[in-house]
Structure 1
Amino acid sequence: MDRITLRRPDDWHLHLRDGEMLKAVLPETARHFARAIIMPNLVPPVVTGAQAASYRDRILAALPEGMSFEPLMTLYLTEDTDPADVAAAHASGLVKAVKLYPAGATTNSHSGVRDFDKVRPVFETMAEIGLPLCTHGEVTAHEVDIFDREAVFIETVLDPIRRATPGLKVVMEHITTSDAVDYVAANETNLGATITTHHLMINRNHILVGGIKPHYYCLPVAKRASHQLALRKAATSGDARYFLGTDSAPHTDPNKEQACGCAGCFTATNTMALLAHVFEEENALDRLEGFTSLHGPAFYGLPVNEGTLTLAKGAARSLAGKLATGEGPVTQFDPGHPIEWDVVG
């Protein structure tokens, strides 16, 4: 197979930032994706329905003429989040999920949750109205090794939350371990998981062998090759509980390439070509549409997109490149080897 046409895909985990960065990166997503779940970890974070509406207006104002794109808004969960505001924002059709960041887990997460008992009323309201909870699945305790933080989160935070609120729909975002894959396999109700492009392409050796590669550094950090293989198997399995969430996260090169660089991989530009490469390697091109275009809408209760996107296999090309933004250059994710697939229509 050297050509494939899919329903137009969606991205169920995306960072657009704000201001000049938003203006530069939005077209890179809107070129291929019809919709995206928009992360709320701005500075200050998007905490209320009114703030989400304002952010949505700024996104639509930044969309270039002739492009169509629907931002699916989320709220940033804090210990002061008002359940009534969450319910109203959902009822209006504006907010499609609430995002849980354990405090200090990743970029702009310091306003996140420390005491999970304080947000239990929000979880109960969300379960009643069918609003999904999107989780950044890592604990932040210093004594827990960074490569173990996802597994510990599942055991000590996620599973207790789900047992206490059994009707709550949960998306385990950007899973990185076989532990997460096993947990999804064991829980068939009200649970989905997104997998990123870069976690399908790299493991921790790619970050560290031959010198540190700052543009491969992300959170959750890439794990062993065995975990990468488990993610590939899950993504290409056809199981509807897995769907694409790129976690595409732009940072300027000066912020990535410093003594304490930012976490995030900017994959929006080349995600579809990279996924075609991965799915072909796994002999699963016939399941690419499910992962990118069908499973996510089914989980969120939204219609499948009407438009299509076509990929074709051609001459091998390098994906190395930079995106110019008003804040500085952003390096696009490059797997370090040529890719033969590209979006052609």
Structure 2
Amino acid sequence: MMTRLTLRRPDDWHVHLRDGAMLAGVLPETARHFGRAIIMPNLVPPVVTGADARAYRDRIMAALPKGMDFTPLMTLYLTEATDPADLARAAAEGLITAVKLYPAGATTNSQSGVRNFDNVMPVLEKMAEIGLPLCIHGEVTAAHVDIFDREQVFLETVLDPLRARIPALKVTLEHITTSQGIDYVANASGDIAGTITTHHLMINRNHMLVGGIRPHYYCLPVAKRASHQQALRKAAISGNSRFFLGTDSAPHTDETKESACGCAGVFSATNTLSCLAHVFEEEGALDRLEGFTSLFGPARYGLPVASQTITLEKRDTAVPYPAKIDTGAGPVTLFDPGHPLYWHVLDA
């Protein structure tokens, strides 16, 4: 039985760090284990220009505790007013790594997102020309579409036509939650990949709803049936380089989660690697964990694999993770997988 595993230092290809006091509170939780991370731009106001991205990157680096080694990979929030020239300059300067597409109203702070895709075609064409990846929150927001079907309908009515229209566009379908999403990314022609979150590998909608509503499992895209969870697990352990880790770790204070209209988001930065080792061990695939966490993402974004390594060790007793992370913005509940975790990251 394997009890120790050394990996190239992982990266997180989808994380929310927020801003201000929340940023200062949660950034160390990501930077402790991850060398780089794609930073989501859905602040209020959103990060829409190169100047916005530079300023946000500076705030992240100012909040990074002394002695921590971490590189934020910045993104721009795509709006119908995005300037293709500004975007291209930011990419040429190495200031941004990708652009994020939120359908308007799809998730937290997405009100400034895209409503009419015709209006962003010049930007997407410029991105295809310069090879800048588009990271997509793949859900439709039409009121008549059931929330559990939003991803599948997006694939059929938005993503497939969009990729046919601009076949050279480099697309990452983020936080896939359905077997249809997995099948699409695995089998589509062209330049496409997909991220999978920690929590979607560990929970399905029963965990959120059976026996009472558990608000800290509520996220968008919402967790689906157990059959979809199994499809995600199969993809994550497959060794297919189109699939890699994007935690979508998304902190909200307990006050905003535990309310009559609670916010969507699961905070998992602190215990993600323990959770993933648990999942991959359950699936008999610990030898493929490094590809998912550390190799496939850098290849996707044209970056070198980390030179540093981390080592995970399986304990005889459960790892004592805190229930909450205290931040200057308020307490944030850590993702609870519902069972003990025995894998932990050894201190360097």
State the TM bucket, normalised to the shorter chain. over 0.9
The 2-side partners of 1:79 and 1:188 are apart by: 27
The 1-side partners of 2:57 and 2:319 are apart by: 35
Give the partner amino acid of 2:333. T
Give the structure 2 partner of residue 333 of structure 1: 335
- The percent of aligned pairs where both chains have the same amino acid is 74
Give the structure 2 partner of residue 149 of structure 1: 150
The alpha carbon displacement at 1:187 in A equals: 1.4
The runs of at least 4 consecutive aligned structure 1 residues that moved more than 3 Å come to 317-320
CA contact (8 A) 2:319 2:344 kept: no
The alpha carbon displacement at 1:318 in A equals: 5.4
CA deviations 1:142-183 (Å, max 9, x no partner) are: 100000000000111111111100000000000000000110
SS at match of 1:192: strand
The alpha carbon displacement at 1:188 in A equals: 4.2
The 1-side partners of 2:201 and 2:338 are apart by: 14
- Structure 2: 5+ residue runs without aligned partners? none
Instruction: Tell me the matched-pair count.
Output: 345
CA contact (8 A) 1:78 1:111 kept: yes
TM-score if structure 2 supplies the norm length?
0.98
Residues 1-345 of structure 1: pairs in structure 2 closer than 5 A? 1-314=2-315, 315-317=317-319, 319=321, 321-345=323-347
CA deviations 1:38-74 (Å, max 9, x no partner) are: 0000000000000000000000000000001000000
CA deviations 1:194-253 (Å, max 9, x no partner) are: 000000000000000010000000000000000000000000000000010000000000
Root mean square deviation, CA, Å: 0.7
The 2-side partners of 1:125 and 1:201 are apart by: 38
CA contact (8 A) 2:40 2:74 kept: yes
The 2-side partners of 1:20 and 1:250 are apart by: 12
The 2-side partners of 1:324 and 1:162 are apart by: 43
The alpha carbon displacement at 1:189 in A equals: 2.5
CA deviations 1:26-49 (Å, max 9, x no partner) are: 000000000000000000000000
CA deviations 1:281-331 (Å, max 9, x no partner) are: 010000000000000000100000110011000122454510001111000
The 2-side partners of 1:240 and 1:204 are apart by: 27
Give the partner amino acid of 1:247. D
- Structure 1: 5+ residue runs without aligned partners? none
CA contact (8 A) 2:204 2:226 kept: yes
TM-score if structure 1 supplies the norm length?
0.99
SS at match of 1:95: coil
CA contact (8 A) 1:319 1:333 kept: no
SS at match of 1:183: helix
